[in-house]
Amino acid sequence: MAISEVFRTCPSTGLKIHRPAENLIKANAVAAVVFLTVGGLFGLMVALTRWPTVHLLPADWFYLALTAHGLDVLLVWIIFFEMAVLYFASAILLNSRLATPRWAWLGFWMMLIGALIVNAAVLAGNSSVMFTSYVPMQASPWFYLGFLIFAVGALIGCFVFFGTLVIAKEEKTYEGSIPLVTFGALTAAIIAVFTIASGAIILIPTLLWSVGIISYIDPLMYKIVWWAMGHSSQQINVSAHVAVWYAIAAIVLGAKPISEKVSRMAFLMYILFLQIASAHHMLVEPGMSSTWKIFNTSYAMYLAVLGSMIHGMTVPGSIEAAQRARGLTNGIFEWLRKAPWGNPAFAGMFLSLVLFGFLGGISGVVMGTEQLNLIMHNTLYVPGHFHATVVAGTTLAFMAITYLLVPLIFQRELILKGWAKLQPYVFAAGVAGISLFMMGAGTLGVPRRVWDITGADAVLTFDYPATAYLMMGLNGLSAILAAVGGVMYIVVVVGSILFGERTAEKKPEPAVATEASVVGHYGSAGTLKLPGTGVLVGVFFTAFVLYYFVNWKFLSEVWPLR
């Protein structure tokens, strides 16, 4: 093929687009959306079961649906989408060809086959071990095997990404250092290698155990290694969705970070401090000492949190700087009021940023404090927290960038533009609801992963305050709203890919510098006159401090000192 057939030029960003990379991005994104659909449906069923008035599923189906839900959304949807992000951030943003598309396809098929095997194992009914699959609960060997095949496929994708960075550097397809979004993706990919290695260390013995070759696995050891994978994989998600925030701000508004160096350093902090921080999942473990817990969570965890707080300031800061440069300088908030709220990519990104910070971030630090953890451990507070991070944060950010990928990569106009405009708001409202109401119910003591809080068939029952039942009902309603938002996303995206008008195509030619081309170059905004961001950060810290101390008060009420 002639060069001009292997590459095309993107009319809006001026980027040179490698068609094999583009096809891989399409395949991974489509697979991701399909599994989000399946996993989201399971999530809705789980939420409707936990609503005592509805109590949709019988017990065995509840645990099956809960397992399938966690796997399909947190593992399959997110990692397929991350593969698309890695290929976009390497080949596309660096104007390069993708290293070994054949290996990338092999990775894709392994992930797909692995995901199908895990789903089949779960649906067959004897693998309802839930997302964490703690031993001594045992799933069928197919469950662990599918998991491993999926993971190896994802590992291949990471190496294709690294290889592409090398090729781009050798073939000098970009100037200076790699752009910030690529740097963020690199952070995610490095963490992914560590994550997948930990996954292999824990899942290979577990597979052998479920086949009967190994007779015993120590539950405490299992938990520690499992969380080396489980927690790190969340840091992949955070790195990837923060990279997506920067990408959207750059493509939609031409926004540059306040200081590119500081933003890079913040990404680096994720790599340096996250693994030890995974100890926060072991805070009530009797087998580990308090010294171990406090050391590992206090220092390392807060340094990783600091990384997120830096991004949480510089992303709105970069938007404020870009908007002010455009002349929106009246008052403290004109830049924000006149932001493109009707653009679903921007709206989704900003909602993701706010909800991730306020709901996910604050609740995470509260729960990561050893003493406070005692009042919410294993309650619904935990899923409340992580739906704020992985759904309101990561999932919403990925949804938002899809609205840019459809025209840029799939080369289709969006259909149902009115739906697209509303979708981020509907989904964000639903997810904010499920996060808050689950956290609320958890604060009142409602446990997580329990089929029936009324305890109708239990020997010992416990009477929750009426508010807990109210929270579970509101959670069910919010789940319906989130599901509506999810369906809107799927209809718009799949509909646009299939039926959207084709966008114009250009052959490679000298790129025109448009605003969106910032995403391939970056640099810093070079201003610190950002009063609006200053106010937002102030509100955030006030909320943080107040909520933190409220929880110490709750704790003091657990053991009244008289």
Let me know: does 515 contact 254? Beta carbons within 8 Å: yes
74 binds ligand HEM (CB under 6 A): yes
What DSSP character marks residue 545? Answer: H
SS3 at position 9? strand
Distance of closest approach, residue 288 Cβ to Cu ion, in angstroms: 15
293 makes contact with Cu ion (CB under 5 A): no
Cβ proximity to ligand HEM, 69 vs 256, nearer residue: 69
Identity of the residue, 93 or 242, whose beta carbon is nearer to ligand HEM in the bound complex: 242
Identify which range of 383-391, 401-409, 454-462, 463-471 contacts ligand HEM by CB under 6 A.
383-391
Task: Choose between 8 and 231: whose C-beta lies nearer to Cu ion.
Answer: 231
Q: What distance in Å separates the CA atoms of residue 558 and residue 461, rounded to the nearest whole number?
A: 20
Size of the site for ligand HEM (CB under 6 A): 26
Tell me how many degrees the CA angle 269-274-279 measures, rounded to the nearest 5: 150
Provide CB contacts within 8 A for 171, sequence distance 6+: 96, 97
Query: Residue 559 gets which letter from DSSP?
Result: S
Specify the residue, 67 or 275, whose C-beta has the smaller distance to Cu ion.
275
Instruction: Indicate whether 387 belongs to the interface with Cu ion (CB under 5 A).
Output: no
395 forms part of the interface with ligand HEM (CB under 6 A): yes
* Among the listed residues 33, 78, 85, 392, the single contact to ligand HEM using CB under 6 A: 78
SS (H, E, C) 17-78: EEHHHHHHHHHHHHHHHHHHHHHHHHHHHHHHHHCCCCCCCCHHHHHHHHHHHHHHHHHHHH
Torsion of CA 426, 432, 436, 441, to 10 degrees: 50
| Residue 73 interaction partner, one of Cu ion, ligand HEM, none, beta carbon < 5-8 Å per kind | ligand HEM
Least separation in angstroms between CB 205 and ligand HEM? 21
In residues, how long is the chain? 562
Residues in 52-71 that interact with ligand HEM by CB under 6 A: 66, 69-70
CA distance 154 to 30: 16
CA distances from 24 to 31, 88, 191, 300, 396 (A): 11, 9, 22, 36, 22
DSSP per-residue codes, 309-377: HHHHHHHHHHHHHHHHHTT--STTTHHHHTS-TTSHHHHHHHHHHHHIIIIIIHHHHHHTSHHHHHHHT
Closest distance between Cu ion and the C-beta of residue 388, in Å? 13
Which of 107, 383 has the CB closer to ligand HEM?
383
Residue 471 lies near ligand HEM (rule: CB under 6 A): no
312 binds, among Cu ion, ligand HEM, none (CB under 5 to 8 A by kind): none
Of residues 144 and 522, the one with the C-beta less far from ligand HEM: 144
Residues linked to residue 447 through DSSP beta bridges, in sequence order: 379
CB 240 within 8 A of CB 185: yes
**For ligand HEM, which stretch binds (CB under 6 A), given 265-273, 389-397, 492-500, 512-520?**
389-397
Interface size with Cu ion, residues (CB under 5 A): 1
Contact partner, 339, from Cu ion, ligand HEM, none, Cβ < 5-8 Å per class: none
474-503 b/e (C-beta count within 10 Å ≥ 16 → b): bbbebbbbbbbbbbbbbebbebbbeebeee
- Taking the complex as a whole, the smallest distance from the CB of residue 398 to ligand HEM amounts, in Å, to 9
User: Which residue, 232 or 517, has its beta carbon nearer to Cu ion?
Assistant: 232
Residue 198: both structure tokens together:
């930990």
**In the window 218-237, what residues touch Cu ion (CB under 5 A)?**
231
- In the list 61, 103, 105, 131, the residue contacting ligand HEM (rule: CB under 6 A) is 131
The partner in contact with residue 131, picked from Cu ion, ligand HEM, none with C-beta cut-offs of 5 to 8 angstroms by kind, is ligand HEM
Which of ligand HEM, Cu ion, none has residue 301 at its interface (CB below 5 to 8 Å by kind)? none
Q: CB of 234: closest distance to Cu ion in angstroms?
A: 5
CB closer to Cu ion, 231 vs 387: 231
Nearest Cα neighbor of 391 from 98, 44, 27 is 44
Distance, CA of 330 to CA of 283 (rounded, Å): 48
Closest approach of ligand HEM to the CB of residue 484, in Å? 9
Between 231 and 311, name the residue whose CB sits nearer to Cu ion.
231
486 in contact with ligand HEM (CB under 6 A): yes
Min CB(63)–ligand HEM separation in Å: 9
> Longest C-alpha distance within the chain, in Å?
83
**Tokens 């507070």 found at:** 381
**Closer Cβ to ligand HEM, 35 or 522, answer by number:** 35
Which of 271, 483, 492, 536 is close enough to bind ligand HEM by CB under 6 A? Answer: 483
Report d(CA 423, CA 489) in Å as an integer: 6
Q: Rule CB under 6 A: which residues touch ligand HEM?
A: 40, 43-44, 46-47, 50, 66, 69-70, 73-74, 78, 130-131, 383, 387, 390-391, 395, 434, 448-449, 479, 482-483, 486
Q: Rule CB under 5 A: which residues touch Cu ion?
A: 231
